Structure 1
Amino acid sequence: MSQPEYRVLPVEEKDTEEIMKLLQITFFIDEPMNQAVGLCSDGPCAELDDYCRHCLPEGLSFKAVDKDGKIVGVLVNGKCPLEEPKDGSDYLSLAKQCQNPKFVKILYVLAKREDGCKLWKKFPEEEYLVDVKVAATHPDWRKKGIMNALVKETEKLTKELGIRLLRMDTSSAFSAMSAERLGFTNVYSAKYVDIKLDGQPIIVPEPPHVDDRVYIKTLFDRK
């Protein structure tokens, strides 16, 4: 039996800068909403950089490394309440405070997403979930099962923490197909053309990315 080409390990603090370099050549430029607003067309976006760094110290994220220890895939995960806190850290408040007009649009879509999915009403018995916030694989390492392996480790840790729900938001048609293949259930879907602010669509990515979705996977039943 051949040896696997990569190993899945927990993300460590020392991995931060290497992970950010990977995201800069993948998620930063590939994610449909980032593309649609040209978020990184003039260089790195400080707000997106902060968003991606925020959850790395929590100890819930995983990396795939090659035989030389180079990071070739990452899943950035965070523990979140089902209902946004009312302390100014919700997406709507952040959108009103943000000075980057491109990132403001993304924050408004995220705010509409939270208001639309209303997870705290769908799962009133749960207080927290683990949220898959960012997923990225190096272009040379795609279609090797890396995301499946990263999600599997995330599920295992989430269950060990006694958290029943794993969340994955998909702004891409491809990530939506991946979520469904991994056993997630779609609990919210909105067409981008229908996500509006002041009567106008906020962001409309290029097809086939026509829907913004939220997926949930219930990892175990309550006794």
Structure 2
Amino acid sequence: MSQPTHTLEPVEKGDEENIMKLLKKTFFIDEPLNAAVGLITSENDTCIELEEYCTHSLKDGLSFKAVDSEHNIVGVMISGIMPLKEDANGNDLLSQAQRCKNPKFKKILYILARREAGARLWEKYPEEQHLVEIMVAATDPGWRRRGIMNDLLNRTEQATAQRGIRLIRLDTSSAYSAMAAERFGYTNVYKALYTDIKMDGRPILVPEPPHVDDRVNIKKLFD
């Protein structure tokens, strides 16, 4: 018997609730930084700050979903258009971390702020002003190993190139996603061991092995 197939569609207004249901049973729990701080313990819990982070970029029209024959969302990739250098307007990641009232998510924001400062993409790609950043990706556990992430990534890259944006960014906190990024032709431009990302002399977060380092990966889509 053949396996059920999926189709890809742009994420639309009204998809947020079903996307959140998928993310709460996958990304919210499984992603190494989220798991390291115990951000949520079950799909019935929530983290408002992470929900806002996940949905902020939907307005850019570069997010895609995989749906089954009954139009259930079985995979999603959320991406947004970002400047290579954060605006100094108080909404940079460090400022967000300093203001964050959720102590668990605050640690994650500090990791992201260190990542941004360490990557220094505006120096590596001075000819570019913007890129597309893949913020979140998730597949329903029952639909894994069926090429959904491959399809979503290809669709996102195509849409990015069609917008005339040369660079696409894929940050990886997981050893598995880092290997996948390399396999798909992304170049690692920043890497830091979690044990070396410290505050007050102590590591901010140390996920369970094999997730030992934090990375930024870039792919140039056209010359």
2:138 corresponds to: 136
Q: How does 1:29-48 map to 2 (within 5 A)?
A: 29-41=29-41, 43-48=45-50
Deviations 1:178-219 (CA, angstroms, capped at 9, x unpaired): 111111111100000000011110000000000100000000
RMSD: 1.2
Instruction: Name segments (4+ residues, structure 1) moved above 2 Å.
Output: none
User: C-alpha displacement at 1:53, in angstroms?
Assistant: 1.2
Q: How does 1:1-223 map to 2 (within 5 A)?
A: 5-41=5-41, 43-221=45-223
* Number of aligned residues: 220
**Stretch deviating more after TM superposition (42-51 or 94-103):** 42-51
* Residue identity opposite 2:163 in structure 1: L
Superposition TM-score, scaled by structure 2 size: 0.96
Give 1:72's aligned amino acid.
V
Query: What is the TM-score with the length of structure 1 in the denominator?
Result: 0.96
Q: Percent identity?
A: 62
Unpaired runs of 5+ residues, structure 2, are: none
SS of corresponding position for 1:131 = strand
Task: Give the whole-Å Cα distance in 2 for the aligned partners of 1:175 and 1:103.
Answer: 21
Structure 1: state its 5+ residue gaps. none
SS in structure 1 opposite 2:211? Answer: coil
Q: Deviations over 1:65-107 (max 9, x none)?
A: 1111111000000000000110111110001101111111000
Q: Contact 2:63–2:76 (CA<8 Å) still a contact in 1?
A: yes
Q: Look up the equivalent residue of 1:156 and give its one-letter code.
A: Q
